[in-house]
Amino acid sequence: MLIAGCEMEIFRKAATEDGLSQEEILQALRESLQGRTLRHVLILPPDFTRYHSNAGFLTNAYYHMLQDVGTEVDIMPALGTHAPVTREQSEKMFGDIPYEKLIPHNWRTDVVKLGEVPAEYLEEITGGLWHESIDVEINRRVMDTKYDLIISPGQVVPHEVIGMSNHAKNLFVGVGGSDMINKSHMVGAVYGMERMMGKDHTPVRKVFDYGMEHFLNQRPILFALTVTTAPEGKNCTHGLFLGEGRTCLEAAIQLSQEKNIDFVETGLKKCVVYLDPAEFHSTWLGNKAIYRTRMAMADGGELIILAPGVRQFGEDAQVDALIRKYGYRGRLQTLAAFEAPGNQDLRDNMGAAAHLIHGSSDGRFSITYAVKEITQAEIAGVGFQPANYEEMARLYDPEKLHYGRNIVDGEEVYFIPNPALGLWIDRERFQADAE
């Protein structure tokens, strides 16, 4: 058997730009299990929307290491509000782990309330912008004392809602409940995406830190955090940070800020972003193309999103209906709709309201969605400019464009093959804001 309760930290950073080898990663994982007696383990990997995190490989490796010594292993993908992992996605991400081993998480029904983040604390950390408490809810399995260890693998990368993704977010959002998901997203939207992207210690991060300190400090949680990029489509793991406290997050954030933030020297007049159809099937996910580039776009610029796999707006029918009803109309219009007496449906889904705010340029630049599995009329109906995918792909062929600046018919075009793996910032604007 593998002794529960021994605190540890194991940090690995790649010596070259080729990243860590599989053997280096496996050795670190083996070290993290040494000296532990483990009978039951729960693994909480991200879903397929984080395919490039390398968390699938970590999950598969941990599963077999534990199975080999007789440990019972349960796997519950941290879905948040996303659709359940399909069999095809599971095979691609988690390899030979039996699909039947995956336990679905339902953010509306599978949670227990642990307590709350008080309103006074929210007022303090938001500078008076938020005045309500937030329920701290989590999937009941996380609190099941039969588990000797809970492993939370995932990627640290700039994130529009929290600043830098993962760690406690994987728990309180990934396998969390509706109040925390909705209100934390709304806190981020009200506070302002540009004030948080790429940073630690944001108000939303402080909410999750509060939850960890007050309600999960006695649970045996091991974080396995990666920092990855995918140059030319090939996944590269630059760092692996294993730990039971917050230090592993801080080390991962430092490396991610080096690897995942790309400064452009001046604002982008035209930017083309490609959304892999295997990964992006909704604007709820696909709008990473907006979140991660808006700080790089020039006023009056044009963002073109090549989205061959987008076939819906929300990840479920309820959220899809809200997006269709209210659309991506900008911060002020969305907040006005949120506060209007007749729009209780939007107030009951703060996460959706926050998403609508994040998914707009606020009129600063145009957003064109080139699609083939949803009608152009539907795209126009939610506030984007529609375009035919085949026509746009002929003009801006994702197979021929290279990452970064390209010249297409005499025009400069900045191409991003996967928006999920970075954050792009106009250095000129960034420096001016800092002065």
pLDDT of the residue at 77: 94
CB 242 within 8 A of CB 167: no
Q: For the chain, which residues make up each domain, given as ranges?
A: 9-259, 263-434
pLDDT of the residue at 5: 40
CB 86 within 8 A of CB 75: no
Query: pLDDT 10s digit of each residue in the chain, 435 long?
Result: 343 344 689 999 999 988 999 999 999 999 999 999 999 999 999 988 787 889 999 999 999 999 999 999 999 999 888 878 899 999 999 999 999 999 999 888 999 999 999 999 999 999 999 999 999 999 999 999 999 999 999 999 998 889 999 999 999 999 999 999 989 999 998 898 888 988 999 999 999 999 999 999 999 999 999 999 886 667 899 999 999 999 999 999 999 999 999 999 889 999 999 999 988 999 999 999 999 999 999 999 999 999 999 999 998 899 999 999 999 999 899 999 999 999 999 999 888 999 999 999 999 999 999 999 999 999 999 999 999 999 999 999 999 999 999 999 999 999 999 998 889 999 887 666 554
Distance of alpha carbon 191 from alpha carbon 161, whole angstroms: 10
Tokens of 148: 């000797």
Pick the CATH number of 9-259 from 3.40.50.11440, 3.50.50.60, 3.40.50.720, 3.30.1950.10: 3.40.50.11440
pLDDT of the residue at 432: 61
Q: How, if at all, do strands 158-159 and 163-164 pair?
A: antiparallel
- What superfamily does domain 263-434 belong to in CATH? LarA, C-terminal domain (3.90.226.30)
- The residues pairing with 153 across neighbouring beta strands, listed in sequence order, are 224
Burial of 325 (0-12, 13-18, 19+ CB in 10 A): middle
pLDDT of the residue at 200: 96
Read off the amino acid at residue 290: I
Distance of alpha carbon 122 from alpha carbon 107, whole angstroms: 23
pLDDT of the residue at 80: 85
CB 232 within 8 A of CB 17: no
Residue 96 region by backbone torsions, left for phi larger than 0, else alpha for psi between -120 and 50, else beta: alpha
Query: What pLDDT digit, counting tens, does each position of 270-300 carry?
Result: 999 999 998 899 999 999 999 999 999 999 9
SS3 assignment, position 160: coil
Query: What pLDDT digit, counting tens, does each position of 140-179 carry?
Result: 999 999 999 999 999 999 988 899 999 999 999 999 999 9
pLDDT of the residue at 7: 63
